[in-house]
Amino acid sequence: MRDLISIEDLSAADLVSVLELADDFAEVQARDMPKVPALRGRTVVLAFFEDSTRTRTSFDIAARRLSADVVNFSAGASSLKKGESLRDTIETITAMGVDSIVVRHASSGVPTMISQWTDAAVVNAGDGWHQHPTQALLDCYTIRERMNLVEGEQPFAGKRIALVGDIKHSRVARSNAQAFTKLGAEVVLVAPQTLLPSSIVGWPVSVEASLDDVIGDLDVAYFLRIQKERMGAGLLPSDREYRTRFGLTVDRAQYLRPDALVMHPGPMNRGVEIDPEVADDPRAVVLGQVANGVPVRMAVLYSVLGPGRFDEQDAPTESEGQAEPAGDPMATASPSADAAVASGAVGA
């Protein structure tokens, strides 16, 4: 993998490979010293042209736990404010010798353009209404983990997942619909007509107009944020009416199966998409999604920057997987496990 721009570019085998690699980094996360030298000497730039809490922070933590150097680029404090073009900005950053650029932008297609302007590996952290591939990966990882679905290239076969809410403006919906179906799930979109895309040709999904018609037959109920900042006027009569028809209210949650999962990519509008009491229900795994973002993004960064990305002579040597001298903050509790991760011998 050179770049990660879209889930569409990944096969089911690719998805499973990243999830399995994330298992190893989840084990690293559980250590007293949750750090490995797998990307030591690499530089990762977080170029976020749009506000973010969860995605930016988890990429930052993920890169540092792989021992990469991290640069947080702020568009508001850059020469973009002086009229510099996006291309000149990216080429300037690249000229400083960075290895990867993690990009979030309000306009669809920007990460694709950036990948044409730089030799650094580009990871899409969300672009407009288009894609959010690492969110889809961490959501797949959460479902797989909570339901113990670890076998085969289509571990979600037989599972029914509903994406509920603002499908029209959601990059998460597009990425997740592709990822879930590639892993074998049946995906249904549930939304008011005004919040559906103008066309779903090519979407591997079905559509339902009523949440009540499907709520009792779901393995996963995935609720999307109402993105008022992207909406025109008149798409929703009111928050109250939306909650009544499409929100996971306390009453509606009673029809969910006991083993169903409730998911949301955040930030959550409590009392609109999900009632506060339901958000704290044991079936709600929202904080689990957030936590899983770190090992999954570690797996993504390793996939674009690790030995598989470079020629053999660029791969970390065996010594890079060994523990550092006592007292060094890079020292880890399990040198042999670190060597396996750093060398790419996952699961060895």
One domain for residues 174 and 127: no
Does the active-site annotation cover 105? Answer: no
One domain for residues 137 and 283: yes
Does the active-site annotation cover 332? Answer: no
One domain for residues 309 and 241: no
One domain for residues 311 and 270: no
One domain for residues 256 and 311: no
Q: What is the pLDDT, as a whole number, of residue 234?
A: 52
Q: How far apart, in whole angstroms, are the C-alpha atoms of residue 202 and residue 216?
A: 27
> 55, 142, 181, 332: which is the annotated catalytic residue?
55
Q: What is the pLDDT, as a whole number, of residue 301?
A: 97
The answer to whether position 1 is within a domain reads no
The model's pLDDT over 157-211, given as tens digits with 9 standing for 90+, comes to 999 999 999 999 999 999 999 999 999 999 999 999 999 998 888 899 999 999 9
The answer to whether position 236 is within a domain reads yes
Strand partners, 124: 103
The answer to whether position 276 is within a domain reads yes
Which regions of the chain are under pLDDT 50? Answer: 233, 308-348
* Alpha helix ranges (H) inside 96-208: 110-117, 133-147, 171-182
- Sort strands 160-164 and 206-208 into parallel, antiparallel or unpaired: unpaired
Phi, psi dihedrals of residue 251, rounded to the nearest 5°: -65, -45
The one-character DSSP state at 131 is B
Q: What is the pLDDT, as a whole number, of residue 84?
A: 83
For residue 192, what are the CA distances in angstroms to 37, 121, 168, 189?
A: 48, 38, 10, 10
One domain for residues 57 and 95: yes
One domain for residues 18 and 100: yes
One domain for residues 18 and 102: yes
Q: What is the pLDDT, as a whole number, of residue 119?
A: 96
One domain for residues 103 and 210: no
Q: State pTM to two decimals.
A: 0.86
The answer to whether position 313 is within a domain reads yes
> 2, 40, 54, 230: which is the annotated catalytic residue?
54
Phi, psi dihedrals of residue 274, rounded to the nearest 5°: -140, 135
Does the active-site annotation cover 43? Answer: no
Strand partners, 263: 222
Q: What is the pLDDT, as a whole number, of residue 333?
A: 34
One domain for residues 88 and 16: yes
Q: Which residues contact 108 (CB under 8 A, 6 or more apart)?
A: 127, 128, 129, 130
> 42, 65, 132, 243: which is the annotated catalytic residue?
132
The answer to whether position 52 is within a domain reads yes
Burial class of residue 125 in the structure, from the number of CB atoms within 10 Å of its CB (0-12 exposed, 13-18 middle, 19+ buried):
buried
Q: Which domain holds residue 56?
A: 7-131+291-343
The answer to whether position 216 is within a domain reads yes
Tally the domains of the chain.
2
Does the active-site annotation cover 230? Answer: no
Q: What is the CATH number of the domain that holds 328?
A: 3.40.50.1370
One domain for residues 94 and 138: no
Does the active-site annotation cover 55? Answer: yes
Q: What is the pLDDT, as a whole number, of residue 347?
A: 34
One domain for residues 211 and 168: yes
The answer to whether position 284 is within a domain reads yes
